[in-house]
Amino acid sequence: MSPHLHLRSAGTSLVLDVSGPALPRVLHWGSDLGELGETELATLVAASVPATTHSAFDVPPALPLLAGERDGWSGTPGVEGHRTGAHPFPDWELTGAGVVATEGGVTVEAHDATAELALRLRLTLDARGVVVVATELRNTGSSPYEVTAVVPTLPVPAAAEEILDLTGRWCRERSPQRSAFQHGTHLRTSRRGRSGPDMTLLLAAGTPGFGFRSGEVWATHVAWSGNSSTLAEKLPERAGAAAGILGGGEHLLPGELVLAPGETYTAPDVWFVHSEAGLDGITHRVHRTLRARPHHVAPARPLVLNTWEAVYFDHDLATLSRLADVAASIGVERFVLDDGWFGGRRDDTKGLGDWYVSDAVWPGGLRPLSDHVHAAGMQFGLWVEPEMVNPDSDLVRAHPDWVLTPGAPLWRHQQVINLANPDAFAHLLDRLDAIVKENAVDYLKWDHNRDLHVAENPRAGLPHAGVHAQTVGIYALLDALRERNPGLEIESCASGGSRVDLGILEHTDRVWASDCNDAHERQAIQRWTTALVPPELVGTHVGPPVAHTTHRTASLAFRCATALFGHAGIEWDITTCSPEELAVLTRWTALYREQRDLLHSGDVVRADLPDAGALLHGVVSAEQDKGFFAFVRLLTAPETHPGRVRLPGLDPARRYRVRVRADLGAAQALQIAPPPWIADGDEGVVLPGSVLSGVGLPMPNLAPDSALLLEVSSA
Predicted pLDDT of residue 649? 97
| Interval 484-509: pLDDT, tens | 999 999 999 999 999 999 999 999 99
Q: Which CATH superfamily does the domain covering 607-714 fall into?
A: Golgi alpha-mannosidase II (2.60.40.1180)
Give phi and psi for 428, each to the nearest 5: -60, -45
Q: How much is the mean pLDDT over the chain?
A: 95
> CB-hemisphere CA count at 13 Å for 423?
7
Contact of 521 with 554, CB cutoff 8 Å? no
Is 178's pLDDT higher than 70? yes
Q: Which of 171-185, 636-650, 678-692 has the lowest mean pLDDT?
A: 678-692
Average pLDDT over residues 533-555: 97
- Give the separation between CA 418 and CA 425, rounded to whole angstroms: 8
CA distance 89 to 468: 23
Q: In Å, how far are 24, 356, 380 from 359, measured between CA atoms?
A: 63, 9, 20
Residue 438, pLDDT > 70, answer: yes
Number of other CB atoms surrounding residue 652 within 10 Å: 12
Does the pLDDT value for residue 49 go beyond 90?
no
> Among 641, 670, 675, which residue's Cα sits nearest to residue 658?
675
pLDDT-derived band at 519, boundaries 50, 70, 90: very high
| Integer Cα distance of 210 and 218 in angstroms | 11
Q: Tell me the per-residue pLDDT of 627-681, one tens digit each, with 9 for 90 and over.
A: 999 999 999 988 888 889 999 999 999 999 999 999 999 999 999 888 999 876 6
Average pLDDT over residues 412-434: 97
Provide the β-strand partners of residue 242: 239
The model's pLDDT over 257-285, given as tens digits with 9 standing for 90+, comes to 999 999 999 999 999 999 999 999 999 99
Q: With contact defined as beta carbons under 8 Å apart, do 559 and 521 qualify?
A: no
Task: DSSP for 14-64, please give it.
Answer: EEEE---SS--EEEEEEE------HHHHHHHHHHT-----SSS-SS----B
Q: Name residue 279's amino acid.
A: L
Q: What is the pLDDT of residue 61?
A: 82
* Mean pLDDT score, 118-139: 98
Q: Which fold has domain 4-291?
A: Beta-galactosidase; Chain A, domain 5 (2.70.98)
pLDDT band at 406 (very low <50, low <70, confident <90, very high): confident
Of the chain, the percentage scoring pLDDT greater than 90 comes to 89
Active-site residue set: 447, 515
Q: CA 529 to CA 520: how far, in whole Å?
A: 15
For the stretch 200-243, pLDDT in tens is 999 999 999 999 999 999 999 999 999 999 999 999 887 656 78
Q: How many other CB atoms are there within 10 angstroms of residue 434's CB atom? A: 12
601 Rama sector, left if φ>0, alpha if ψ -120 to 50, beta otherwise: alpha
Residues forming CATH 2.60.40.1180 domain(s) in the chain: 607-714
How many residues are there in the chain? 715
Which pLDDT score is estimated for 680? 62
